[in-house]
């Protein structure tokens, strides 16, 4: 029995590492056929030893019994919407308000010079979700809803392949709420609609509708068969701070197994934000996923807290290319 338990632990660790390299680092380490062989070996061993099955095993992404309805979840920290900009002048005005809103000179918060530093990343066109981890284990997933109250979709988020059921490494806070977007790539969307046509099922108008409809299925087995992906963009409640900049937060989350945008960039001043905006606009059609704009955030978290919130975060702006 000890040998079986050891082998199960080895397989889980190996599969988790391959998932991380494939989904987070974009560096596949083994062929798909070899991954499938390891997965089926683990599945068979767990079937023979059900008492050794744990909630964070890679085999536990297949879905469970259908629900009659989703329960409501109240967000400890509201999931606020973004302010919008439609012209470059809006971004310049945002930068002016940020600079004037800081009590300390920008140079004191952002190093030499007076330019505010911003994180830049595409705004994925999907469904915003909250993932709650306790002691490194995923315990709840929820939709944004109205920003204050969402729906508990825990059984469904567990089926999304690149959402870690257990965080990698160590050093994470006891309570860690990760926020991000569940989306469907353009290729995944095309495959899904093609398979729906084959079985005479409903097709979807666009990847966002497909992602939202898939994630809100009462039958998680359906969700498990949909090509959903997750990309994190920030934090909600935490029991301890993990970095002093937004990009530092995302880099730390990536070490713990969270997928982050490969287009994430630090801009030194509003001019570099505008350069980023133009670049993403030019490459938009070549991206593997649909976007709904670009998001700029004041990178320094102390500055974010100083700027505070109104109807939306005053340190964050969404721009539509």
- Measured in residues, the chain has a length of 321
308: Cβ–Cβ under 8 A, 6 or more apart, which residues? 314
d(CA 129, CA 178): 8
| 221 has catalytic annotation | no
Q: Please, what is the end-to-end C-alpha distance for the chain in angstroms?
A: 58
**Catalytic residue of the set 2, 43, 115, 123:** 123
| Positive or negative: CA dihedral 42, 47, 49, 51 | positive
The edge-to-edge listing of strands for the beta sheet with 117-124 is: 83-85, 316-319, 291-298, 117-124, 265-268
The DSSP 8-state label assigned to residue 50 in this structure reads G
Please give the positions annotated as active site.
Answer: 123
């Amino acid at each position: 029995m000890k040998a079986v338990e050891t082998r199960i632990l080895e397989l889980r660790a190996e599969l988790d590492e391959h998932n991380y390299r494939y989904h987070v680092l974009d560096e596949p380490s083994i062929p798909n056929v070899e991954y499938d062989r390891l997965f089926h070996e683990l599945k068979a061993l767990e079937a023979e030893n059900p008492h050794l099955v744990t909630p964070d095993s890679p085999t536990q992404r297949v879905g469970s019994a259908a629900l009659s309805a989703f329960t409501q979840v109240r967000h400890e920290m509201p999931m606020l919407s973004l302010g919008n900009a439609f012209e470059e002048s809006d971004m310049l005005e945002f930068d002016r308000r940020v600079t004037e809103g800081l009590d300390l000179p920008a140079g004191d918060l952002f190093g030499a010079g007076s330019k505010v530093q911003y994180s830049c990343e595409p705004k994925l066109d999907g469904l915003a979700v909250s993932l709650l981890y306790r002691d490194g284990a995923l315990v709840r997933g929820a939709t944004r809803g109205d920003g204050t109250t969402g729906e508990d979709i825990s059984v469904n988020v567990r089926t999304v392949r690149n959402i870690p059921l257990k965080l990698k490494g160590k050093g994470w806070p006891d309570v860690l709420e990760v926020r991000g977007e569940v989306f469907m790539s353009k290729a995944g969307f095309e495959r899904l609609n093609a398979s729906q046509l084959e079985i005479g099922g409903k097709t979807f108008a666009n990847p966002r509708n497909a992602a939202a409809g898939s994630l809100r299925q009462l039958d998680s087995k359906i969700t498990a068969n949909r090509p959903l992906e997750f990309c994190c963009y920030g934090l909600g409640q935490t029991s301890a701070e993990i970095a002093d900049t937004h990009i530092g937060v995302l880099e730390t989350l990536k070490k713990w197994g969270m997928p982050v945008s490969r287009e994430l960039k630090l801009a030194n001043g509003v001019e570099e934000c505008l350069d980023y905006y133009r670049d993403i606009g030019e490459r938009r059609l070549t991206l593997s996923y649909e976007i709904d704009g670009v998001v700029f955030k004041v990178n320094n978290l102390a500055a974010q807290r100083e700027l505070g919130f109104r109807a939306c975060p005053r340190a964050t702006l969404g721009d539509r290319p």
